[in-house]
Structure 1
Amino acid sequence: MKLEQKIHVFQFLLTICNCLYLILGASILGCALWILFDTGNLLRDIHSDELETVAGGLFLVGLLVLAVAALGYAAAHCQARLMLLLYMAFLIVLILGQLFISLVLLTSQKKIEGALDEAVDQMIISYAGGRDLTASDRLLDELQRTEKCCGRTGPDDWKTNLYIQNLTNQDVLPCACFNTSCPSGPGGEPPLFGASVGNDSYQEGCKEKITDWLAENALTIVAMDASIIILQVLQIILAVYLYKAVSQQSRVKGSRVLMEPEPDQTDPGPDLREDQGGFYGEENRAYWDPEPPHTESTGYPNAQNPYAEHERHGQGYNQMYY
């Protein structure tokens, strides 16, 4: 395969990898934004340094991935060796950063799980009841209704709720804890609460569901990091081959320039050269023609000794007097 064809193949493959890299980078950035700013997930209410480190790291990695993908496309298109070197350096830095994030997430999963348990307990304590529900209250109701669970470890966790503690009859649960229509509670409780005794409420706590949900999300993030790391390794390999091909092309062009002779500034040109039969060469040929003229047919004096005729006449003159 010719060198130009190799460069075009590497450019095409690197462009495809950069497109996939861009998609994965956008996914990582979206995952970070979901953890940091979405009020509809439990992670938003967790106060954990480890989780904040993971979320902030994913956000930074997502932004860098978008920038590096653009740099890689420009480097492949322009065949710029300096840009290719920067591209490979940034890829290596991103790989190290992603490995660090994955390591923190895997080693800190128990701490994050404990922080999540504390967040759920606090959500149960501050549940608003019949008053205006907050985003956390709606999230807790959605969790219990969807996963068919009640409380973190069981229905008894709701006895810590501040609103229920102020009721005369504290044997009530939120309507999200029932698998049927919410029964009416005694004492005129708000419609979001119902009597728990003998009214088909969920007896399983939500802790196991929350743990499984957290493990699935952590596994998703680690799988995304692993996929993007594999792609980054492939990008580095293609960038190295493209860099070598571009360097070889530059060396070939440089050797061709050195092999081409520089034009002689003192050379009068082909029209003025005598050895090539130029214009002036034809006119001046009589002055340097080595062949003497034929003396017998023309009667011209010998071109090699123009004084020979005069010498002959001089000898005859001398013979007349001697």
Structure 2
Amino acid sequence: MANEDKTNTCGTICLKYLLFTFNLLFWLSGGAVMAVGLWTLVDKSDYISLLSSSTYSLAAYILIAAGAIVMLTGVLGCCATIKESRALLIVFFVLLLLIFLLEITAGVLAYVYYQELNEELRADLKETMVQKYQQPGEDHVTRAVDKLQQDLKCCGSNSSADWQQGTWIHTFADGRLVPDSCCKTPTDHCGLRDHPSNIYKVEGGCISKLEEFILQHLQILGAVGIGIAFLQILGMLFTCCLYRSLKDEPY
């Protein structure tokens, strides 16, 4: 009987250390999830403003929420482990399950969004770029387009020729064939010369570049989500094992 008690005690201690280590990793991963979500929204907010769908932003917001809950859950898990409280372990398990469901939701949204991405870009981006660029009350679009063309090294939605079909060419172009942000070395009125040596000529235009950019970010978000999900499964297993190993205590 003494040997059995000793074995159970050793098993419980091992589980406590495993779960405590898990919670530290879990807390750090929550910070990483929040950082990725915030980076996607803040650093790339200009790009996102050119998209008509809010699904991409929604997936990032869900990750930020999940990251915040993960960090709080990690602290709760540490408390539950140290105090050996079965009631806190139950709450911890439920929160882990909730986060897991949030991540699945974000993953489904990201997958659905990517399936619709190409169609949305081709339908909306060209009109947004050539009809709203440098128009009154559309300063945010102008900034987003200039940043998009410079950062992704592209010109026009499908090609630089798209700029000949829009409102901008007849109002604010001032003789330029493309905006100055299309130039490889932007200077005032450098868009007067539409030549590959001067401006970016990319097959597929900014649509293909933006689609590639968003796909890369969705892959990063997906990889982070999968990593956290794997940690959560381990955490739920450790929690269940520790819960069963603890002696019954009043709640």
> Shorter-normalised TM-score: what interval?
0.7 to 0.9
Q: Is the 8 A contact 2:126 2:162 kept in 1?
A: no
Q: SS of the residue aligned with 2:11?
A: helix
Structure 2 distance, partners of 1:145, 1:100, is 33
Give CA-to-partner distance per residue, 1:82-138, whole Å, 9 cap, x none. Answer: 111111122122212211221121122132444455246414433339x9x945434
Q: Is the 8 A contact 1:128 1:163 kept in 2?
A: yes
Structure 2 distance, partners of 1:197, 1:53, is 40
1:4 equivalenced with 2:27 (yes/no): no
TM-score, normalised via structure 1 length: 0.64
Structure 2 distance, partners of 1:247, 1:218, is 45
When you count helix as a share of all residues, which structure comes out higher?
Answer: 2
Distance of aligned partners of 1:120 and 1:85 in 2 relative to their CA distance in 1, 3 Å threshold: farther
Q: SS of the residue aligned with 2:52?
A: coil
**Which residue of structure 2 lines up, in the alignment, with residue 58 of structure 1?**
63
Distance of aligned partners of 1:8 and 1:62 in 2 relative to their CA distance in 1, 3 Å threshold: same
Distance of aligned partners of 1:227 and 1:39 in 2 relative to their CA distance in 1, 3 Å threshold: closer
Moved more, 7-16 or 209-218: 7-16
Q: Is the 8 A contact 2:51 2:125 kept in 1?
A: yes
Post-superposition offset of 1:210: 1.0
1:87 equivalenced with 2:106 (yes/no): no
Structure 2 distance, partners of 1:53, 1:82, is 33
Alignment of structure 1 residues 40-79 onto 2, 5 Å: 40-79=45-84
**Which residue of structure 2 lines up, in the alignment, with residue 178 of structure 1?**
183
1:142 equivalenced with 2:140 (yes/no): no
Distance of aligned partners of 1:12 and 1:192 in 2 relative to their CA distance in 1, 3 Å threshold: farther
Structure (1 or 2) with the larger CA radius of gyration:
1
Read off the aligned partner of 2:227 and give its amino acid letter. S
Give CA-to-partner distance per residue, 1:138-168, whole Å, 9 cap, x none. Answer: 4433332343321111001212443321268
Give CA-to-partner distance per residue, 1:35-56, whole Å, 9 cap, x none. Answer: 4455654124433143343233
Q: Larger RCO: Structure 1 or Structure 2 (Cα < 8 Å, ≥ 6 residues apart)?
A: 2
Determine which of 3, 23, 47 is the counterpart of 1:18. 23
Moved more, 110-119 or 87-96: 110-119
Q: Is the 8 A contact 1:149 1:202 kept in 2?
A: yes
Q: SS of the residue aligned with 2:178?
A: strand
**Which residue of structure 2 lines up, in the alignment, with residue 239 of structure 1?**
239
Read off the aligned partner of 1:12 and give its amino acid letter. Y
Q: Is the 8 A contact 1:151 1:206 kept in 2?
A: yes
1:98 equivalenced with 2:91 (yes/no): no
Q: Is the 8 A contact 1:51 1:112 kept in 2?
A: no
**Which residue of structure 1 lines up, in the alignment, with residue 3 of structure 2?**
none
**Which residue of structure 2 lines up, in the alignment, with residue 127 of structure 1?**
133
Structure 2 distance, partners of 1:162, 1:104, is 35
Q: Is the 8 A contact 1:39 1:135 kept in 2?
A: no
Structure 2 distance, partners of 1:9, 1:142, is 53
**Structure 2 spans left out of the alignment, 5+ residues:** 1-5
Alignment of structure 1 residues 170-249 onto 2, 5 Å: 172-180=177-185, 182=187, 191=189, 193-196=191-194, 200-204=198-202, 205-247=205-247
Q: SS of the residue aligned with 1:172?
A: coil
Give CA-to-partner distance per residue, 1:52-91, whole Å, 9 cap, x none. Answer: 4323322322222122111111111110001111111221
TM-score, normalised via structure 2 length: 0.80
Distance of aligned partners of 1:41 and 1:30 in 2 relative to their CA distance in 1, 3 Å threshold: farther
Determine which of 111, 131, 154 is the counterpart of 2:159. 154
Structure 1 distance, partners of 2:185, 2:69, is 49
Distance of aligned partners of 1:157 and 1:25 in 2 relative to their CA distance in 1, 3 Å threshold: same
Percent identity between the two aligned chains:
20
Aligned length: 241
Q: SS of the residue aligned with 2:169?
A: helix
Q: Is the 8 A contact 1:76 1:84 kept in 2?
A: yes
